[in-house]
Amino acid sequence: MIQLFKLKKNGETATKGTTKRSSAAQLRITKDINELNLPKTCTTKFDDPDDLLNFKITIAPDEGFYRGGKFTFSFRVGPNYPHEPPKVKCETPVYHPNIDLEGNVCLNILREDWKPVLTINSIVYGLQYLFLEPNPEDPLNKEAAEVLQSNKRIFEQNVQKAMRGGYVGSVYFDRCLK
C-alpha cells in the first residue's frame, strides 16, 4: 500500500518531471489541429496537409463593425510551441486599432498572456473577439484608435471605406468584402 502520509511528509512532491516529455511542437500541434473547433465564421487553409506548422485562418465576422469583411491570418508555429505562442500576422490590410499596417496583431494571449495550455482554437477566438470589440486602449494603429474613441460613427464609416477598397486618410486598403 502506498503511504501518502509518509511520502509527503518526508519528501515534497517530485518536481523533476517538469521537463515536458513528449511535447515537441509537432506532436502538440497535431493535437491542436485535430481538435480545432472553430466558429462558423472561420475557415482554415493548409497549403500542404503534411505541414501542420504553417497555415492560414480566415475570419468573416457576422456582426460588429467588420461584418461582411473577410480577413486572413497566417500562423507560423515555431519549434518551441507551446512554450512560445505561434507567430500570427494579418495578411489582409485592415483599418483596426489593434492591427497595424504591416499586419502585426496586438492580442494579449499572443504575447504577455500566452500560456502553454492555450491552443490554436483559443487564439482564433481571441482574434474573432478583436473584430467584435476593437480595443482603443492598447492601440497599434493610433489613428484608428483615436477615431474610435472620439467618434464611433466616423470610425464605422472608415472601416466601411477600407473594406470596400479605398483610402482612409493617406492609406490605401484593398477590398476585402465577401
Partner 1 sequence: MSAEGIRSRQFSCLRKILERAGPVCHPDFEPSAEILNFISNDCKVLVIGAGGLGCELLKNLGLMGFRDIHVIDMDTIDLSNLNRQFLFRRKDIGKPKAEVAAEFINKRISGCNVKPHFCKIQDFDEDFYRQFSIVICGLDSIIARRWINAMLVSLLVYEEDILDQTSLIPLIDGGTEGFKGNARIILPGMTACIECTLDLFPPQVTYPLCTIASTPRLPEHCIEYVKLLQWPKENPFECSIDGDDPSHIGWIYEKSLERAACFSIRGVTYRLVQGVVKNIIPAVASTNAVIAATCVTEAFKLASSCCSTLNNYMVFNNVDGVYTYTYEAEKKDDCFVCSPFFRVKYMDLPHDGMKLNEFIEFLSGLQYQMKNPGIVAAFAERNRTLYMSGVPSIEEMTRDNLKKSLKELNIINGTKLIVTDVTRPTPLEIVIRFSEINN
Residue 44 binds partner 1, judged by CB under 8 A: yes
Binding mask of the shown chain, residues 109 to 128, with x at each position contacting partner 1 by CB under 8 A: ------xxx-----------
Residues marked active site are found at 106
Nearer to partner 1, 2 or 178 (CB): 2
Placement of cell 489613428 in the chain: 143
Q: Is 65 exposed, middle or buried (0-12, 13-18, 19+ CB in 10 A)?
A: buried
- Residues in 63-92 at the binding interface with partner 1, rule: CB under 8 A: none
Q: Is the dihedral of CA 122, 123, 125, 130 positive or negative?
A: positive
Residue 45 binds partner 1, judged by CB under 8 A: yes
Residue 12 binds partner 1, judged by CB under 8 A: yes
Give the whole-angstrom CA distance, residue 2 versus residue 46: 49
Q: 77, 155, 56, 175: which is closest to 119 by C-alpha?
A: 77
Residue 52 binds partner 1, judged by CB under 8 A: yes
Cell representation of residue 61: 465576422
**Which parts of this chain interact with partner 1 (CB under 8 A)?**
1-9, 11-18, 20-23, 26-28, 30-31, 33-37, 43-46, 49-50, 52, 115-117
